[in-house]
Amino acid sequence: MMALAAEELRGLGASVSLVGSGSQQLPDGQTLPIPPIILAELGDEPEKPTVCFYGHLDVQPAAQANGWLTDPYTLTEVDGKLYGRGATDNKGPVLAWMNAVGTFRALEEDLPVNIKFILEGMEEAGSVALKELVAREKDGFFSSVDCIVISDNLWVSQRRPALIYGTRGNSYFMVEVRCRDQDFHSGTFGGILHEPMADLVALLGSLTDSSGRILIPGIYDHVAPVTEEERDMYSAIELDLEEYRNSSQVKTFLFDTKEEILMHLWRYPSLSIHGIEGAFDEPGTKTVIPGRVTGKFSIRLVPHMNLSVVEKQVKQHLQYIFAQRNSSNQMAVSMVLGLHPWIANIKDPQYLAAERAIKTVFGTEPDMIRDGSTIPIAKTFQDIIQKSVVMLPLGAVDDGEHSQNEKINRRNYIEGSKLVAAFFLEMVQLQEVAGTSP
């Protein structure tokens, strides 16, 4: 896949390097080489702005037996929808960017901007090795970059385009409760043990109330207060609640209004319990008292929550709850993953350029939205190379990334390609305006 993309980019006239990125050890001990990362460049004229596009070519697993109506690895058009694994996440958008570049070449027009591509093949596996490369290339590949554009999310609507100016972070916790390493038979030991599952269930049950509010003391202290301006932005977003309920197959959400729902997805923290490792998880019945169990939960972080403060609050809370139980088991809490939230300044010129390009291509203002998920690479770019990031999604809300029957609409793919080209043109115009101002 990486070689194919490199070939395409060379065909567009780019100078391309495939950067080897070492190998990865899987949990089963197997060692696999990491796909090389593509760094490609078209143009280096100092008077032009330099736009860097980040995308990925790896995909989630897919098997037709798993509920796909078409072969997931053969792009199939049905009623204006292009079905296939990776159609929207993220191969389709990568192609839209290549199309935009290709169009200028086909028209024998000069590219209005210098363009760089950074394409990886490990995004779905946590972008292993990307951070190191970005740090290494800070003063090389990235030194001339003015802004980075990512098209790896979706609109919030089926029809109306969007611009994304923030993503939540994530802090992932594991809490282990251990009596002994082996399991017990519930007939032989049931009744005389502090059972690890009972402790763990009490710990996990102390994290939220039935309305989803996080009960960890202090956790909301650093959440940015909602401003009037922000409230207006949320009201302006197009979201058909009925359609949203239907498409997500959820009868009732915790909140009733569009504004509350979106704010709780984007600008408030949330806590989800993912599961338990070490307990009986198979179908059927087993009369086991698990001897050591690990609960897994994570908190989505928003500005201005601080990872290390959250870590401390969670640990203190769980230690307090555990101490209350007077259990003879051992408890251990660790934060195994910590990703900062990301937020952009929507007054930055590249946001203005993207907004104008959207108006040109789609004839409408974009929804100004956030993403409740974490796109760690955005924060990485922002932190390491200190360049601003724009998220310019091309796919629609119902594209089904990570699901069966993933698709991108023909309209989104074609207009998306135009949007990228329009964005190039707007970037130049903005630079010219800036250049002529005093």
Specify the residue, 161 or 376, whose C-beta has the smaller distance to its own copies. Answer: 376
Nearest Cα residue to 280 out of 269, 272, 288: 288
Which pair of tokens denotes residue 80?
A: 């204006």
- Alpha-carbon gap, residue 161 to 324, rounded angstroms: 51
**Of residues 14-73, which lie at the interface with its own copies (CB under 8 A)?**
27
Question: Does residue 7 have an active-site annotation?
Answer: no
Please give the torsion angle defined by the CA atoms of residues 352, 395, 89 and 381, in that order, rounded to the nearest 10 degrees: 10
Q: Does 191 bind its own copies (CB under 8 A)?
A: yes
Catalytic residue selected from 8, 41, 89, 123? 123
State which amino acid sits at residue 236. Answer: A
Q: What is the closest distance, in whole angstroms, from the C-beta atom of residue 11 to its own copies in the complex?
A: 35
Question: What DSSP element (H or E) covers 41?
Answer: strand 37-42
* Nearer to its own copies (CB atom), residue 52 or residue 276: 276
Q: Report which residue type is found at 197.
A: M
CB atoms within 10 A of CB 109: 10
CB 277 within 8 A of CB 294: yes
Contacts of its own copies in 343-402 (CB under 8 A): 371-374, 402
Nearest alpha-carbon partner for 388 in 364, 353, 433:
353
Count residues contacting its own copies (CB under 8 A)?
Answer: 78
CB of 338 to its own copies, least distance (A): 11
Taking CB under 8 A as the binding criterion, the range among 32-40, 93-101, 166-174, 416-424 that sits at the site for its own copies is 166-174
Nearest to its own copies of 87, 261 (CB atom):
261
Q: Which residue from 257, 287, 308, 334 is in contact with its own copies, where contact means CB under 8 A?
A: 287
DSSP-derived secondary structure for 309-376: HHHHHHHHHHHHHHHHHT-SSEEEEEEEEEE--EE--TTSHHHHHHHHHHHHHHSSPPEEEEESS--H
Give least dist CB 154 to its own copies, A. Answer: 9
Choosing from 30, 31, 285, 386, the residue that interacts with its own copies (CB under 8 A) is 285
Q: Which residue of 337, 425, 428, 430 would you call a contact of its own copies, by CB under 8 A?
A: 337
Q: Which stretch binds its own copies (CB under 8 A): 50-58, 221-229, 326-334, 382-390?
A: 326-334
Q: How far is the CB of 335 from its own copies (least distance, A)?
A: 11
Out of 25, 30, 31, 249, the only residue in the binding site for its own copies (CB under 8 A) is 249
The answer to whether residues 42 and 65 touch, using CB atoms and an 8 Å cutoff, is no
Among 284, 363, 435, 438, binds its own copies (CB under 8 A): 284
CA dist 99 and 91 (Å) reads: 12
The residue (of 152 and 355) whose beta carbon lies closer to its own copies is 152
Q: Find the catalytic residue in 41, 58, 398, 399.
A: 58
259 makes contact with its own copies (CB under 8 A):
no
Q: Which of 275, 308, 312, 433 is in the footprint of its own copies by CB under 8 A?
A: 275
CB 291 within 8 A of CB 178: yes
Alpha carbon distances (Å) from 235 to 90, 92, 161, 232, 373: 29, 30, 16, 5, 21
Letters for 200-219 (x = contact with its own copies by CB under 8 A, - = none) are -xx-xx--x-x-x-------
58 is catalytic: yes
Q: Which residues pair with 392 in a beta bridge?
A: none
Give the x-and-dash track for 305-324 against its own copies (CB under 8 A). -------------------x
* C-alpha distances in Å from residue 74, one per residue of 43, 64, 94, 124, 407: 34, 11, 17, 20, 12
Beta pairing partners, 297: 173, 273
User: Does residue 170 touch its own copies according to CB under 8 A?
Assistant: yes
Q: CB nearer to its own copies: give 148 or 204.
A: 204
The residue from 138, 264, 356, 359 that contacts its own copies (CB under 8 A) is 264
Q: Does 333 bind its own copies (CB under 8 A)?
A: no
The catalytic residues are: 58, 123
